[in-house]
Amino acid sequence: MDTSNSNSDAPAMDAITGKPMPRPIPASTLVIFRDQPGSSAPDLLMVERSAKMVFAAGAAVFPGGRVDDADFDFAKALGHEDHEEYGARIAAIRESIEETGIAVAVDGNLDAKRVLEARNALHDGTILAEICSQFDWQLELEKLIPFSRWCPPFAEKRVFDTRFYMISHDDHQAQATVDETENYNLFWGNAQSVLDRAEAGEVKIIFPTKRNLERLAQFGSFDEAVGHTRDYPSVMVSPHIEKRENGVHLCIPEGIGYPITSEAMEAVQRGFSKQGGPKEGQ
């Protein structure tokens, strides 16, 4: 598990401009697995973000978003000393309900009507702690498996320090539905099929999503993915730019579980902001 603190007192510097970086916004993302009997690869739940969103507009990403103060407060109330880690886990669960209508890592009455009530309440501003108290829900935070953590060294208007978690959800009866605010479509598909759709121009994926999908495409089941994280525990991934003989590449470190660690800069231009640095997140 990565417990490094990116919010140190000394400001980080932009890798390109040398200017001070803005304080990263804590964020959390959940890779929801659904093993497919008879299939060589599990399905993953992807959401396609609205074109009106400031971050990753129109891109296919994993469900997730920023960690709210209420998430940190809930983690503290539950007795977790590492409230940054467990606040992020709480946020991942909350965002999954908000964005997809699926409740994971929750023990209690999870019939469709109850989950819809919780989703509507979250959209109306009710915090998850109050919903759990009202519905007698208990969060099973240990079910979330840390997968990775990304934070770019580029001074965007919004820089996200994003923790990625995995969880298995084999309830095939649970219907994921769009929230019609932040996303306009969602779909299940194995990691390689999403990569193939992106290659064909059918969906848009940004640099972190592509690297994570390539890593996830190695696994034939959720259990295989969990075993992989034991060999390659979650660490902070901070992309960097390298000038090579064949051009400029955006790179991530070797030896942390990713089968592909670089991509030609021109191939990732759609994932960049006007300032020239890569957008970060889901």
CA distance 214 to 205: 12
CA distance 140 to 107: 7
Range of the domain at 191: 25-271
Q: What is the pLDDT of residue 275?
A: 35
DSSP annotation of 220: S
Q: What is the pLDDT of residue 184?
A: 77
Is residue 4 domain-resident?
no
If one counts the domains in the chain, the total is 1
Is residue 278 domain-resident?
no
Q: What is the pLDDT of residue 13?
A: 57
CA distance 183 to 47: 6
User: Between β-strands 240-244 and 160-168, what pairing exists: parallel, antiparallel or unpaired?
Assistant: unpaired
Amino acid identity of 104? Answer: V
Is residue 152 domain-resident?
yes
Is residue 8 domain-resident?
no
The phi, psi pair for 241, rounded to 5°, reads -105, 135
Q: What is the pLDDT of residue 277?
A: 38
- In 3-state terms, what secondary structure has residue 131? helix
Is residue 122 domain-resident?
yes
Is residue 220 domain-resident?
yes
Q: What is the pLDDT of residue 6?
A: 41
Q: What is the pLDDT of residue 158?
A: 74
Q: What sign does the CA torsion over 18, 161, 147, 95 have?
A: negative
Residues of the chain with pLDDT under 50: 1-8, 53-55, 269-280
Beta bridge partners of residue 20, listed in sequence order: 13
Q: What is the pLDDT of residue 128?
A: 98
Q: What is the CATH number of the domain that holds 79?
A: 3.90.79.10
User: Would you state the structure tokens that stand for residue 238, as one six-digit string?
Assistant: 């901070």
The phi, psi pair for 263, rounded to 5°, reads -150, 140
167: nearest Cα among 268, 89, 262, 250: 89
Is residue 102 domain-resident?
yes
Is residue 279 domain-resident?
no
Helices 83-100 and 128-135 pack at an angle, to 10 degrees, of 70
